[in-house]
Every structure is written in C-alpha cells, then in structure tokens.
C-alpha cells in the first residue's frame, strides 16, 4: 500500500472506479466513503501534526499507530481512520482473485480449518461489534493468525489488549457509513456480500509482507511480558468458542 509521499499523508489511489464493486458495494457509498469520510480522516491527521511526528511515509504511519495512545485522540482516531481505510480499499477488487496455494492458505487451514470457516468467524465477530468498528484478520507477533474486532478507528497495531495486537492483513469496515445507503441496518447482509469483492491474492501478499515486517518484531518486544504459549492458548480458546457459537 502507498500511504503517503513528501511531507503530508495523501489519499491512496483507488485501483477501481466507484461503481466497480456493485452490486455488493454501491457507487454512492463508495464515493462518499472514500471522498468524504476517508478524506476527512486524512485532512485532520495532517492538521493535527501526525505527518510530522515520524514522517509521512508508510513505515512512519505504522510506527505512529504503534506509538499513539489514548492521550492524543485526534491522531489516534484520524491516523487510524487513514491507515484502516487504506488497507480496506487495497483488499477490494471488482475482479477478485482466489487464494493462491501458498503460506496464507496453509496458515488458514492450520488455524481455522478452512476459508469458509474463517469467513463465518469474521462475520460473527462483525455482527457482535456494538456500534462502529472493524473486523480484522491479524498476524500475531508469534506469526500465528487470529481474528479480532476493534472499536471506532482503532486497529491491532495500537496499544489495545496485548492478546489482540499484531499486523492486520485484512480488515472489514463495519461502521454504518460503509453499508447503510445500500443495506440500511442489515449489517449481516453487508458482511455476507462484501466477501464477493475481497481479493484473496492481495490478502496473501499482505500476509507474506507481514511475516517479514520489522513491525512484527517491535510488537513482540512490546508484549514480551506475555508468554507466547499463553497468547496462543487464548487465541485457540477464542477460536473454539466461536466455532461452538457458529455451529449452534
């Protein structure tokens, strides 16, 4: 993803037109979501000085997400809004590619049994998220996969629960502005349909990049007080609990 250039963060260039994701995401929603909501996050991030703290680059934005805390709500909310939406646009496509045989496919089978099971779990997490937020597929600092949701514009890189931290490789926006014009209050219908435009080839690229990212080591050092085995056990317990919910 390209987040920024020069001295200010800039809008990522969409790889498709606003109407290209129809009927799953309508053109009007895309236009407002990208041109109004995301643009406002970007402008407010630059106004708040977020572009000057660690540099207006992709790596700088990731490090900003790592460093920001609740004391600076403007940079947290607007920086998160810019980061989260940039990832979201990047994993959508009017001609989505299937998941290629590779590391991501193996990891999903090991962690979630199947891609269908992963989707069901993410949808369940999205429906459970009260109010506004995001659902994420995350590479943990120990290179396992987990599914989490976050409120507002928080993301897994930030100083949230240690068990939830990691690098997001796939994010689904469950704010009402992402779907309300087309789906009204039917978030479940939106979650079901959005997968028709998720590009698994791009998710796979994000996954492999995350495994090699220096950010993963930084996150591991930050949560070093929590043992790898404990975190993995908690992730496994969460997965089993979700499976019971889905099958019931």
pLDDT band, residue 96 (cuts 50/70/90): very high
In a domain, 12, yes or no: no
Q: What is the CATH number of the domain that holds 114?
A: 3.55.40.20
Query: Which has the closest alpha carbon to 89: 51, 130, 44, 39?
Result: 39
Is residue 123 domain-shared with residue 179, that is, in the same domain? yes
Is residue 45 domain-shared with residue 165, that is, in the same domain? no
117 is in which domain, residue-wise?
103-247
Neighbours of 89 (CB within 10 A): 20
Q: Quick check: 233 pLDDT over 80?
A: no
Instruction: Using alpha carbons only, give the angle 248, 185, 155 rounded to the nearest 5 degrees.
Output: 75
Question: Would you state the structure tokens that stand for residue 105, as one six-digit string?
Answer: 């496919």
Q: For all residues of the chain together, what is the average pLDDT? A: 88
Q: Quick check: 60 pLDDT over 90?
A: no
Q: pTM of the full predicted structure?
A: 0.87
In a domain, 15, yes or no: no
To which H or E segment does residue 156 belong? none
To which H or E segment does residue 92 belong? none
Place of tokens 């810019």: 82
- Residue 148: strand pairing partners: 136
**b/e burial code for range 115-131 (CB count within 10 A of at least 16 → b):** bebbbbbbbbbbeebee
Is residue 82 domain-shared with residue 172, that is, in the same domain? no
Q: Quick check: 55 pLDDT over 90?
A: no
Give the end of a domain, one of 59, 90, 121. Answer: 90
In a domain, 69, yes or no: yes
Neighbours of 225 (CB within 10 A): 6
Q: Quote the pLDDT of residue 169.
A: 98
Give CA separation, 220 vs 52, 78, 159, 166, 197, in Å: 26, 25, 13, 9, 32
Q: Quote the pLDDT of residue 229.
A: 58
Q: Which of 27-31, 116-120, 213-217, 223-227 has the least mean pLDDT? A: 223-227
Number of domains in the chain: 2
> Collapsing DSSP states into helix, strand and coil, what is residue 103?
helix
Q: Quick check: 53 pLDDT over 70?
A: no
Q: What is the CATH number of the domain that holds 27?
A: 1.10.287.990
Give CA separation, 18 vs 9, 25, 196, in Å: 22, 9, 16
Q: Quote the pLDDT of residue 2.
A: 46
pLDDT band, residue 6 (cuts 50/70/90): very low
Q: Quick check: 248 pLDDT over 70?
A: no
Question: Would you state the structure tokens that stand for residue 55, as one six-digit string?
Answer: 């540099």
| Whole-number Å distance between alpha carbons of 236 and 230 | 10
Is residue 114 domain-shared with residue 82, that is, in the same domain? no
Q: Quote the pLDDT of residue 67.
A: 85
Q: Given the DSSP bridges, would you call strands 167-173 and 145-151 parallel, antiparallel or unpaired?
A: unpaired
**How do residues 162-190 score in pLDDT, each as one tens digit?**
778 999 999 999 999 999 999 999 999 99
Question: Would you state the structure tokens that stand for residue 116, as one six-digit string?
Answer: 């269908």
Is residue 63 domain-shared with residue 181, that is, in the same domain? no
């Amino acid at each position: 993803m390209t987040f920024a250039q020069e001295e200010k963060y800039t809008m990522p260039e969409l790889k498709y037109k606003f109407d290209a994701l129809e009927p799953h995401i309508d053109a009007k929603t895309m236009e407002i979501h990208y041109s109004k909501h995301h643009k406002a996050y970007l402008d407010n991030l630059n106004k708040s000085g977020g572009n000057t703290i660690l540099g207006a680059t992709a790596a700088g934005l990731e490090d900003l997400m790592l460093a920001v805390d609740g004391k600076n709500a403007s940079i947290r909310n607007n920086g998160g809004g810019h980061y989260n939406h940039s990832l979201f646009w990047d994993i959508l496509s009017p001609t989505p590619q299937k998941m290629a045989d590779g590391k991501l496919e193996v990891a999903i089978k090991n962690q979630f049994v199947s891609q269908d099971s992963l989707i069901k779990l993410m949808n369940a997490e999205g429906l459970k998220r009260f109010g506004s937020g995001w659902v994420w597929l995350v590479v943990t600092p120990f290179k396992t996969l987990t599914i989490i949701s976050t409120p507002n514009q928080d993301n897994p890189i930030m100083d949230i629960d240690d068990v939830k931290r990691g690098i997001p490789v796939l994010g689904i926006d469950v704010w009402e502005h992402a779907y309300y014009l087309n789906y009204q209050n039917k978030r479940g219908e939106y979650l079901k349909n959005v997968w028709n435009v998720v590009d698994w080839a791009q998710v796979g690229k994000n996954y492999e990049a995350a495994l090699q990212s220096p950010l993963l080591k930084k996150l591991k050092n930050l949560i070093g007080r929590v043992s790898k085995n404990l975190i993995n056990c908690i992730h496994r317990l969460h997965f089993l609990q979700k499976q019971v919910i889905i099958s019931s």
